[in-house]
Amino acid sequence: MLGAGSWGTALALQLDRSGSRSILWDRDTDNLLKVRDTRYNQRYLPDIDIPESIVIESDLVAAVKAADHVLLVTPSHAFASIIQTIRQELKPAQGVAWACKGFEPGSGRLLHQVASELLPESTSLAIVTGPSFAKEVAMNLPTAVTVAGPDKRFVKVMANALHGGRFRAYTGTDMVGAELGGAVKNVMAVATGICDGMKLGDNARAALITRGLAEMMRLGAALNARPETLMGLAGAGDLILTCTGDLSRNRQLGLRLGRGQSLQQAVKEIGQVVEGVNAAAEVHRLALEHGINMPITEQVNGIIHNGWNPEEGVARLLARQQKAEHGE
């Protein structure tokens, strides 16, 4: 397990519960050693005991060499650098999975595209995604995710390792849809947060979530994602959770922007990476590149990156011409 933030720690706990041996590494050595010594991740999950059966390893190479497979749980901006560091250490049969959501900053590539370029063609790849707040997984509350990738054998191995107790792991092969759903929902969570921060009501929130799903589906069609993937856990499921749950950092960013805070102030108060900031720019770029109409994404990108006023953004959405809901 590469990454000992809230999500990496929560997944290590779930692997341990399901009877799978896990090794936890993080680039923040100081915090990692505190976790090892106290058996608590005070920074991210302060109230959760970490059993001795979870191995804490501060040496990245040693952690990779000791594992059967690798699961990355890092911010998307650190994904490529970690892959580059470990690729020479991977054993021939060692697969690489990740539970991070977003795009590679700068290139706008989905993470499976980054991994495919940097790793040997023979390396099995998979993504773990779906509606899953780290704190609730750590608390052993019921959760369902999907594990997706082209190698059905490796996908099954990863799903079996995680599945157990109150945690269900489904499987699939549509990596594009699984990754796209997890990235686009971050933008829509910012949008619904802005809506709620401005106290626009439950009707408006429901409309934003539904029309946000429509934007996700249109972009997915252009990128050859399967519609059933985007209507499942990786798409609609994650979208609903992130747009309505206050544990979502993207929703929290939107709430603060809707209440009049600046982007810099909001991000500082949240104190952790907010993937929706980068995702807004990348999803908007993809929409323009493929000629996809994504008005909610356009407004969120403008508010975050161009300093647009949230009230004016809402007004622009409401001023759009009447149209058929499904493009008939």
How far is the first Cα of the chain from the last one, in angstroms, to the nearest whole number? 47
pLDDT at 250 over 80: yes
Q: How confident is the model at residue 108 (pLDDT cuts 50, 70, 90)?
A: confident
Residue ending a domain, choose from 156, 173, 190: 173
Q: pLDDT at residue 327 above 80?
A: no
In terms of domains, do 204 and 92 share one? Answer: no
Question: Both 20 and 119 in a single domain?
Answer: yes
From 35-39, 74-78, 135-139, 140-144, the region with the lowest mean pLDDT:
74-78
| Tokens linked to 221 | 């069609």
Q: Which residues are catalytic?
A: 185
Q: 166 and 190, same structural domain? A: no
Query: Which of the listed residues 119, 139, 173 is the one where a domain comes to its end?
Result: 173
Please tell me the predicted confidence (pLDDT) of residue 60: 96
Check which CATH number belongs to the domain holding 217 and give it.
Answer: 1.10.1040.10
Cα distance between residue 129 and residue 235, in whole Å: 9
Question: Does 58 map to a domain?
Answer: yes
DSSP string, 182-247: HHHHHHHHHHHHHHHHTT--HHHHHHHHHHHHHHHHHHHHHTT--HHHHTSIIIIIHHHHHHH-TT
Element (H, E) at 264: helix 263-270
Burial of 56 (0-12, 13-18, 19+ CB in 10 A): buried
Please state whether 230 falls in left (phi above 0), alpha (psi between -120 and 50) or beta.
Answer: alpha
Question: Which residue range(s) make up the domain with 271?
Answer: 176-318
Number of structural domains, the chain? 2
**3-state secondary structure at position 98:** strand
How many Å apart are CA 192 and CA 215, to the nearest integer? 14
Residues 224 and 115 reside in one and the same domain: no
- Residue 191 contacts by C-beta under 8 Å, 6 or more apart in sequence? 208, 212, 243, 254, 296, 299, 300
Q: Is residue 327 part of a domain?
A: no
Contact (CB, 8 A) for 147 and 173: no
- 106 and 230, same domain (yes or no): no
Rg of the chain (C-alpha set) = 19
Average pLDDT, rounded, for the chain: 96
Q: Based on the domain organization, do 156 and 11 belong to the same domain? A: yes
User: Do residues 105 and 91 share a domain?
Assistant: yes
Does the pLDDT at position 120 exceed 60? Answer: yes
- Based on the domain organization, do 84 and 233 belong to the same domain? no
Domain boundary among 124, 155, 173: 173
Q: State pLDDT tens for residues 292-303.
A: 999 999 999 999
Whether the pLDDT of residue 83 is over 60: the answer is yes
- The pLDDT assigned to 281 comes to 96
Query: Is residue 138 a contact partner of residue 40, using CB atoms and an 8 Å limit?
Result: no
In a domain, 136, yes or no: yes
What are the start-end ranges of the H helices in 18-88? 29-38, 60-66, 79-86
Residues 93-103 pLDDT 10s = 999 999 999 89
More confident residue, 166 or 273: 166
Contact (Cβ atoms closer than 8 angstroms) between residue 257 and residue 277: no
CATH number of the structural domain spanning residue 140: 3.40.50.720
Judgement on whether residues 131 and 228 belong to the same structural domain of the protein: no
| Distance, CA of 61 to chain centre | 25
- Indicate whether 234 belongs to any domain: yes
- 204-240 per-position pLDDT tens digit: 999 999 999 999 999 999 999 999 999 999 999 999 9
Query: Does residue 324 belong to any structural domain of this protein?
Result: no
Judgement on whether residues 117 and 157 belong to the same structural domain of the protein: yes
Is there a domain that residue 110 lies in? yes
Q: What does the alpha-carbon distance between residue 180 and residue 176 come to, in Å, rounded to a whole number?
A: 6
Q: Is residue 328 situated within a structural domain?
A: no
pLDDT in tens, 144-159: 999 999 999 999 999 9
- Whether residue 326 lies inside any domain: the answer is no
Asked whether the predicted pLDDT for residue 200 surpasses 70, the reply is: yes
Same domain, 86 and 71: yes
Tokens encoding 2: 């590469």
- The answer to whether residues 295 and 313 belong to one domain is yes
The pair phi, psi for residue 207, each rounded to 5°, is: -65, -45
pLDDT for the residue numbered 107: 85
